A = this chain, B = another copy of it.
Amino acid sequence: MIHSYNSQDKALLAVDCIIFGFDKEELKILLIKRDFEPQKGKWSLMGGFLKRSEDLDQAANRILHHLTGINNVYMEQLYSFSKVNRDPVERTVSVAYYALINTEEHNEELTQQYSAKWFNISEAPELIFDHDKMVKKAISRLRYRTSTMPVGFELLPQKFTMRQLQKMYEAILGEKLDKRNFINKINALDILHKTNEKDMESSKKGSFLYMFDEEKYKRKAADGFSFKL
């Protein structure tokens, strides 16, 4: 049994980010066309390598920022993928992170300055390496998180309608929800603030805009959410 540190194999440590967005109807992921070998030209998650001077959370944020200009978003470590030949060039272990971002705020820059593109979850192309597995796992984690805390305000603009919120949950969960039950439950949580503005784009009648109330949220969060739609 040899325990000396320097007789051990080392590996490259990559970080790959699954970036979720939501755009009125569909849950989306952000992909880039890989501009280096191997698999140049194929679609890929946002990825990079861990540096000696940073931890994984920092690396994930740096990589996201670097490839998209985005900063300060919700990110969470997902899982580490380590099949021996997952990357054909080098032995690489990849730690996957997922993030939730608001597509409206971040659309232009992304698609223009960076060669990133949003894809509907259901229409995404095949990805390199084991990235498809990562996405699958991220979706299931996102669904779980849904029942744990009121996820996904990160995915919407600051002001949003009940209908948008509902559609977002439907997109995440992959099922239709009842309109009245949904509103009742959301209201029961008591973490929204109803503005007196209306969004006139989606209908003739117009629908009220709501905002997420951080104060109320924090008070609730203290004694632990549990939350089912």
Residues of B within 8 A of A164 (CB): none
Q: Is A55's CB under 8 angstroms from B83's CB?
A: yes
Q: Which residues of A contact B (CB under 8 A)?
A: 1, 3-6, 8-13, 35-36, 49-57, 66, 77, 79-80, 82-84, 89-93, 95
Interface of A, secondary structure class, is loop
- Bound-complex Cα distance A44 to B67 (A): 39
Residues of B within 8 A of A13 (CB): 10-11, 13, 93
Residues of B within 8 A of A35 (CB): 3
A158 to chain B, nearest CB (A): 31
In the assembled complex, 6 residue pairs joining A and B whose CB atoms fall closer than 8 Å, in A order, are: A10-B11, A11-B13, A13-B93, A52-B91, A56-B82, A80-B80
Q: Is A5's CB under 8 angstroms from B9's CB?
A: no
- Across the two chains, which residue of chain B brings its CB closest to A84? B55
- Bound-complex Cα distance A209 to B51 (A): 55
Residues of B within 8 A of A36 (CB): 3-4
